[in-house]
Structures are given as structure tokens and as C-alpha cells.
Structure 1
């Protein structure tokens, strides 16, 4: 187990290095630079070039990359040219919001997916199974941003059950009961919108696992020995079907990364996703590279977590 984990971490290190290079190079290929649109066009071009030299924007890309990566190792992404504050401080404010949104989405995803998957798999080819399967087909077909817009229109603007923007009601004191309730209220609609779409894959997978496990020889043997149907289902079918679901927990995290970008922008939620879109629009190079790098690291760590859990569930996949 430890050998597999160490080897898997060893594979992750060059992935992180390659990710950092790709992020930096692709960000440098964006039109303009950090000073584009910030300086009065009437300023003397020589003065503008002097400012670019002072900021190191005219240095070779590999020199800029080395300076950038040294800062990243020290958790220093430089200064945001647009927001006029350190990138680390800016990201710290948004990262907390995205964390709570992702956590709420994960909780809702499993609260919805596991009961539906169990019902659909246990009672396959029934009316309940057809209804649940129909829901998953609609979920696969529906684009997340369209579904989120419909949820916002229906439950936010039309019915007024949930807030339509922000992460908390302005004026509330952090730490108070009202503040916590307001944070949860602002989280519910965006997280539920994302969970209802992201849950369909887990429902289908759990359904297939339960149906497949019901055909296995050890289940047939348990029934032949006279075990009750509830014992066969709870101790043999359900237990073996749920184990692979746990292994995909890390991949659920990576799936949330793309989802939060759309959700946060649609619901006006101040998180990493909305910051990413704003930074691209404003050509804020230092913020763009920092956000993409954090998203990439989260995806790689999510895959690592899933591989480790899967190796515990099924030791056969461990690297010898």
C-alpha cells in the first residue's frame, strides 16, 4: 500500500511541473500583457517600455517563469494589476467561498445519488427504475449552464425562495447565527443546481453495480444457503456495490472544478470560478496563472485521492 502511494506521488510531481509550465506559457500567449489598457495611450512609448522592463515583462519567458515559480513555492503569486492587491490575499478571500460551495455540492450529490442509485438498482425494470433512469438521461443531456439559469429564474427571481447573488447578506456580523444561516441560504441554490446535474453519473454507476452484483456467484450461493433477502442485499450486494463509489470521490472533486466556473458566474457567487472569468476578461496575468494552477493542482490531487482509495478497495490494481 505504501509503495503504491509513494509511486503514485512520484508520478504526480512531474505532472505538477508540466502543469506549471503549460499554465505559464498559455497565460503569456494571451493578447496583451499586464499593462495593456492600464496606461494612458498618450504616455511616451519609451516610458511604457521602461515600465515593462522594470516589471520584467520584456525578459525571456523562461526567466519570467523561474521568477514566478520561486514565488509560487513561497505562496507568493505577485501583485494583481487590476485589483491592486496581492494575488495571495485575493485568492484567499475567494478560495473559502469556493470550498464551501464545493463541499455543499458534494454532500447534496451523494445525498441524492445514493438513494436513487440503490432504488434503481434494487428494483430494476420497475416504474421507479424507469423514472430514475429517465431523470439521469435528462441530466446527461442538459447543459449545466442552461439548467442553472432555469433554476435561478424559477427559484430565485420568480419564486424568490433563494438569493440571486452574493455569498452572504451585507451588514451581518461574521460568526453570528444569522450570518451562518445567510451563508447556507446563499449556497443552497447554486450547489443544488450543480448537484442535480453531477449526480446522474453516480446514480447510473451505482445502479449498474447493484444489478451486476446481484448476478454474482456469491450472492446466488448466499440465497441457496437460505439467507434472508434483506441479509443478502445488505451484507452482500449493497456493501460490494458501494465500495467502488467511494473510490470515485476524488474524481467528483475534479468534476466540480469546471462546474464552479459556470455556477459562480451565473449566480454572482464570489468564488474562484468567477474570479477566473473576471481575470481573463481584464487580462490580469498574475491572477489567471494562480487560479489555473490551483485548479490544476486540485484536479491532480483529486485523481491521486481516488487512486489511493481505489487501491484500498481493490488491492489488485496496486503497482507491484
Structure 2
């Protein structure tokens, strides 16, 4: 078990290093640089050049990269010219909103997907299975941002069941029960919107696993020995079918964090996703590079979590 964790962590180190180089080079390819939005364009060009020289922006890319990555390791991602504050502090203000949104979405995804997948797989080719499968086909075909716009229009603007912007009602005192409820109430509609789309892949995968497991020899043997149908499903079919779902846990987290980029903008939810899109629009160089790097690291860590979880639930794949 520990060999797997150590080996995967050692593989992660060069992955993160290569990712940081790629992120930096892509950011350098953007028009302008980290100084572009911080200075009045009416300033003497000679003064601007002198400032770029002082900040090292005229140095070769590898020198700039080394200066950037060494500061990033210490938590210093530079200064945001739009918000006039350190990028690490700015991200810290938005991070918890995105994490809570991703956690609630993940919980809703599994609460919806597992019962639907089990029902569809156990009663395959029934009218109930066709109904669930039809829902998954619609979910696969519906883009997340279109579905989110529909949800905010119906349940936010038309029915007025949920707020359509912000993360908390004005005037709420942090630490109180009403403040906690307001935070939860504001993220509920974005979480439901993402969960209803994210759940379709898990439903289909679980359904197919159950149908495939039902045909295995050990299931036929259990039935031939007179085991009850509930025992066959609970002790054999369901247990084996849920193993791959557990392994996808880390990837689900990564996918949800990435999905918040569009959902947060649609619902005007102040998280990292909304900050990311707005920073791209105004070319806030320091914020964009920091967020892309963090999203990439989250994807790598998600893959590590999936490998660890799979090795725990299925000892057959452990590397000695």
C-alpha cells in the first residue's frame, strides 16, 4: 500500500514541474505581461521600459520562470493589478466558496447516481430502466452551461425559489446559524445544476457494471446454491459493481472543480471559477497563471486519490 503511495507521489513531482513550465509559457504567450495593466498608458515609454527592466520582465523566459516558480513554492504568486492585492490572498478569499460548492455537488451526485444506477442495472430493459437511461442520454447531450442557464431562469428568475447571485445574503453575521444557512441556500441551485449533469456518467457506468456482473459465473453459482435474490445482489453483484465507482472519486472531485468555472459565472457565485474567467478577460497575468497551476495540481492529486482508493477497495491491483 505504502509503495503505491510513494511511487505515485514520486511520479507527481516531475508532472507538476512540467505543468508549471507549460503554464508559464502559455501565460507568456498572452498579449502583454504582468505589468501591462498596472501602469497608466500615458506614462513615458522609457519609464515603462525601466520598470520592466527593474522587475526582470526583459530577462530570458527561463530566468523569469525560475523567479516565478521559486516564489510560487513559497505561496507568493505576485500581485493582481485589478484587485490591488496579493494573488494568494485573493485566491484564499474565493477558495472556500469553490470547495464548498464542489463538496455539496459531489454529495448530491452520488445521492442521485447510485440509487438510479442500481435500479437501472437491476431492472434492466424494464420501463424504469428506459426512463433512467433516457435521462442519462439527455444529460450527455445537454451542455452544462446551457443547463445551468435554464435552471437559473426557471428556479431563480421565474419561480423565485433560489437566489440568482452571490454566496450569502447581505447583512448576515459570520458564525451564526442564519449565515451558514444563507451560504448553503446560495450554493444549492448551482450544486444541483452541476450534479444533475455530472451524475449521468456514473449512472451509466454503474448500470453497465451491474448488468455485466450479473452474467458472471460466480453469480450463477450463487443462485444455483439457492442464495436469495437480495443476498446475491447485496453481497455479490453490488459490492463488485461499486469498486470502479469508488475509484473514480478523485476524478469526480477534479471534474467538479473544473466545472465550477462556468457555473460560478452563470450564477455570479464568487469562487475561483468566476475569478478565473474574469482574470482571463482583463488579462490579469498573475491571477491566471496561479489558478491554472492550481487547477492542474488538483487534477494530478485527484488521479493520485483515485489510485489510492482503488488499491484500498480492490487489493488485487496492489503493487508489491
Q: TM-score, normalised by structure 1?
A: 0.97
Task: Give the match for residue 260 of structure 1.
Answer: 260
User: Structure 2 CA distance, aligned partners of 1:75 and 1:248?
Assistant: 30
Task: Give the match for residue 22 of structure 2.
Answer: 22
Does residue 294 in structure 1 map to residue 294 in structure 2? yes
Tell me by how many angstroms 1:170 deviates: 1.3
User: Structure 2 CA distance, aligned partners of 1:280 and 1:220?
Assistant: 57
User: Structure 1 CA distance, aligned partners of 2:10 and 2:135?
Assistant: 41
Does residue 2 in structure 1 map to residue 2 in structure 2? yes
Change (3 A) 1:35 1:133: same
Tell me by how many angstroms 1:319 deviates: 4.2
Superposition pairs of residues 1-320 of structure 1, within 5 angstroms: 1-319=1-319
User: Structure 2 CA distance, aligned partners of 1:57 and 1:82?
Assistant: 19
Contact 2:276 2:288 in 1 (8 A): yes
Contact 2:37 2:284 in 1 (8 A): no
Contact 1:244 1:313 in 2 (8 A): no
User: Over residues 167-201 of structure 1, what are the superposed CA-to-partner deviations in whole Å (9 max), with x where a residue is unaligned?
Assistant: 00111000111101100100110010001001000
SS of 1:294's partner is: helix
SS of 1:138's partner is: helix
User: Structure 1 CA distance, aligned partners of 2:171 and 2:19?
Assistant: 41
User: Structure 2 CA distance, aligned partners of 1:294 and 1:38?
Assistant: 24
Contact 1:206 1:241 in 2 (8 A): yes
Tell me by how many angstroms 1:53 deviates: 1.6
Contact 1:152 1:267 in 2 (8 A): yes
Tell me by how many angstroms 1:37 deviates: 4.3
Greater mean deviation of Cα atoms: 121-130 or 44-53: 44-53
Tell me by how many angstroms 1:312 deviates: 2.5
User: Over residues 117-162 of structure 1, what are the superposed CA-to-partner deviations in whole Å (9 max), with x where a residue is unaligned?
Assistant: 0000011000100000000000000000000000000000110100
User: Over residues 40-94 of structure 1, what are the superposed CA-to-partner deviations in whole Å (9 max), with x where a residue is unaligned?
Assistant: 3322110111121222221211111111111111111121122100111100000
User: Structure 1 CA distance, aligned partners of 2:61 and 2:169?
Assistant: 44
User: Over residues 243-287 of structure 1, what are the superposed CA-to-partner deviations in whole Å (9 max), with x where a residue is unaligned?
Assistant: 221111011012113211100111000111111111111211111
User: Structure 2 CA distance, aligned partners of 1:204 and 1:116?
Assistant: 9
